[in-house]
Chain A
Amino acid sequence: MREKATTAMVGFGTSEITRYSDRGMTAFALEAALAAIADAGLTREDVDGYIGTPWATNQGAVHAHGADEICYRPFLKALGIEHLRYGADLYKGFPTDMVVAAAHALLAGECRYVLGVRALYNLKGVDYATSASRQAWGDDQFVQPYGLGTVGARFATRIRRYMERWGVSRHDLFEVIALSRRNAARNPVAIWRNRQISLDEYLDAPMVASPHCLFDCDIPVCGAMAFVMSRSSDVPSAAAPAFLKGWSGHQRPWDVFDDSGVSAQDVDQCQLYDGFSSMVYEWLEGFRWCEEGQAWKFIRDGHADVDGCLPVNTFGGSLGEGRLHGMGHVREGYLQTAGKAGERQLSASDHCLVQVGPYDSSSFVLLCREP
């Protein structure tokens, strides 16, 4: 049992989200960071901690700061911050890992207000999905020669096996995308906010890595999001807080509940990572909201809709909003439990579980209305 968590998310900012842009990546990250600081009722001078996850996850990435990655030291200069007490970038981390790392820094007394920034950028002239390398080093030598490391192929083989085993069709998988689009309609920054999708349109779409077609993959975008966190005793007077009551990693997933005193049955809503549609099934079953092999029915039958028993991805998920690598999931967890979700606000929003990452490397945070 961990000591009772005493940190809160106190502000969040989202930049414009667009497919391509003439603006550089730093402009997006600054837009999000400044919005988050203002949302918390703070100024730049109040920020004394920073946490980021720069990694551009696509095969064709150039991995350059300000091009497709935002790294902590040069970004501090762009923000004009000169007296930071604590800062770090998490290598290949997820936004949920950022939340946990920020809590660690706050609980250790390193700093008072941590800014967390995650940005993605869709570069023109770079082939997003293609590995240009002619050689495969290290672990890649057993992955890249087969194509398994590209376009979610390893998740495609996983869902293929699930579908064969449990009698799931692509009609059923479509229900995940349909749910995302329904919810994206209430999200003003979502890429697909004005675009519902029909089953025919889905079935006619080009395959990417079977059984995933184009619409099973979240769409690459230019965009950035940022949060501000503090200890619960330091919540700014103008801020609406959501309290971080638990967290865990994939090797001990249930710790998110065991350490918080909140049970899986107490959770009102979930924001579940959906970089590929089939990933949404994983933790609905992993946390036993559904029996093994039944998550697809849960979604098909409407239980994950906003009027269902466990609303999922109420902002449209990455599939509806665009590929912010799970940061949109954190934002929605914050907005819902802080009572700031506007027309998306659910009446039951005391406990929101946020999960980001693939089935075998996810991390989890529990955001709550009360400390």
Chain B
Amino acid sequence: MARPIPVPSAESRPFWSAASAGELHLPRCRNCGNLHYPPPARCPECLTEALHWEQLSGRGRLWSWTEIFVEAIPGFEPPILVTQVELAEQQGLVLTAGGDSREIPALTLGSEVQLCFTEPVDGFRFPLARPA
């Protein structure tokens, strides 16, 4: 597997650092209290930079998914499963993840899933949705 490797910035680095430790962290706005994904430079509601990173449960519901059958990522053997997971902590907060083609397509939308993380690839680990 050869996923493109993220080039983090100050705004996104805490996400990837936590992921490499097998944890899901996202920024929460200190003003309006909303969680954001992907990590923004400022809260798009309040426009404040006062974002506080916190650990989430990784629990959620399957929002949608697709299986890519072309070699969209060189060296990444199709099918490539892409999942979208609505996180338990906030309605409408949908995170992109991978998954296993033997598991996810058997689920229905709204099924409970748990996010875990891939083996490290060049020091990066990526969230994966698995049946809860």
Contact = CB atoms under 8 A, between A and B. Distances in A.
Contact of B4 (A129, A145, A153, A211): A145
A147 B76 contact: yes
A130 B69 CA distance: 12
Contact of A139 (B5, B38, B68): B38
A141 B12 contact: yes
Interface string B54-80: 000000000111111111111010001
B127 to A, nearest CB: 9
A172 B109 CA distance: 20
B68 A153 contact: yes
Nearest to A141: B6
Contact of B5 (A136, A150, A209): A136
Nearest to B99: A146
Residue from B12, B37, B96 whose CB has the most chain A CB atoms within 10 Å:
B96
Nearest to A212: B66
Interface stretch (A44-52, A159-167, A332-340): A159-167
A147 B64 contact: no
Contacts of B98: 146
A161 B109 contact: yes
Given A134-B5, A135-B4, A142 B38 contact: yes
B92 to A, nearest CB: 13
Nearest to B124: A145
Contacts of B7: 135-137, 141
A205 B62 CA distance: 27
A209 B126 contact: no
A262 B84 CA distance: 39
A210 B8 contact: no
A157 B64 contact: yes
Contacts of B82: 146-148, 153, 157
A137 B38 CA distance: 13
Nearest to B128: A146
A147 B65 CA distance: 12
B97 interface: yes
Chain B interface extent, by class: 20 to 34
B10 interface: no
Nearest to A133: B4
Contacts of A209: 66-70
A243 B98 CA distance: 48
A208 interface: yes
A160 B73 contact: no
B97 A146 contact: yes
B108 interface: yes
A343 B37 CA distance: 51
Interface string B1-24: 011111111001000000000000
Contact of A147 (B8, B63, B68, B109): B68
A206 interface: yes
Contacts of A137: 7
Given A141-B6, A141-B7, A164-B108, A131 B67 contact: no
A81 interface: no
Given A131-B73, A150-B68, A151-B68, A136 B6 contact: yes
A64 interface: no
16 contacts: A130-B74, A131-B74, A132-B74, A136-B4, A136-B7, A139-B38, A144-B3, A144-B73, A147-B76, A147-B82, A150-B72, A153-B68, A157-B84, A160-B64, A165-B109, A207-B67
Interface of B: 2-9, 12, 37-38, 63-74, 76, 80, 82, 84, 96-98, 108-109, 124, 126
4 closest residue pairs by CB, A with B: A141-B6, A150-B72, A156-B66, A157-B64
